[in-house]
Amino acid sequence: MFLVAFSLSCYHGTVLSPDYPEGYGNNMNCVWLIQSDPGSRIHLAFNDFDLEAPYDSLTVKDGETNDAPVIGRFSGAENPSHLTSNTNTLRLEFQADHSMSGRGFNITYSSTYQFKLLFLLLFLIA
C-alpha cells in the first residue's frame, strides 16, 4: 500500500531536439537541465534517436554543471537504452557540427522517489 503511494511518478515530460522530427540545424549547442525534487532520481526513455554519426552527439551528465560526471554519450541512429540518474538533476548537451542532420531525438523523462527514502519511511511506520 505504502509502496504504491511512494513509487508514483511526480514529474514527467518530453525533450525534443530543435524542429524534431524535421531535422535539427547546423552549428547547434543546446543544453537542457532536468531537475526533480531533492532525494528523487530521473529516468530517461529514448523514444526516437537519429543523429549524424559521429559528428553530432547527445551527452547526458549526472548533475547540473558542465563538469558533472558523464553517464552517456550518444550518436547515430540506434535508440540508446534507458538511463537513470544518481542525483536529482540531469544535464543534456546536444551538439551538431556545420553540416548534415538526422531526425533528431524524442526523449521522455520521469521522476520517482529514491528507494532510500521509501525504506526509511517503511522503517518509521514499522
- Report the alpha-carbon angle 31-90-16, nearest 5: 50
Peptide bond into 21 cis (omega under 30): yes
According to the binding rule CB under 5 A, does residue 53 interact with Ca ion? no
The 10 Å Cβ neighbour count of residue 24 is: 22
Stretch that binds Ca ion, among 10-18, 29-37, 55-63, 111-119 (CB under 5 A): 55-63
Residue nearest to Ca ion (CB): 52
Could you give the CA distance from residue 89 to residue 82 in angstroms, rounded to a whole number? 16
According to the binding rule CB under 5 A, does residue 56 interact with Ca ion? yes
Shortest Å, Cβ 25 to Ca ion: 9
Q: Which of 40, 52, 62, 74 binds Ca ion (CB under 5 A)?
A: 52
According to the binding rule CB under 5 A, does residue 97 interact with Ca ion? yes
Could you give the CA distance from residue 79 to residue 103 in angstroms, rounded to a whole number? 12
- Point out which residues bind Ca ion (CB under 5 A): 52, 55-56, 96-97, 100
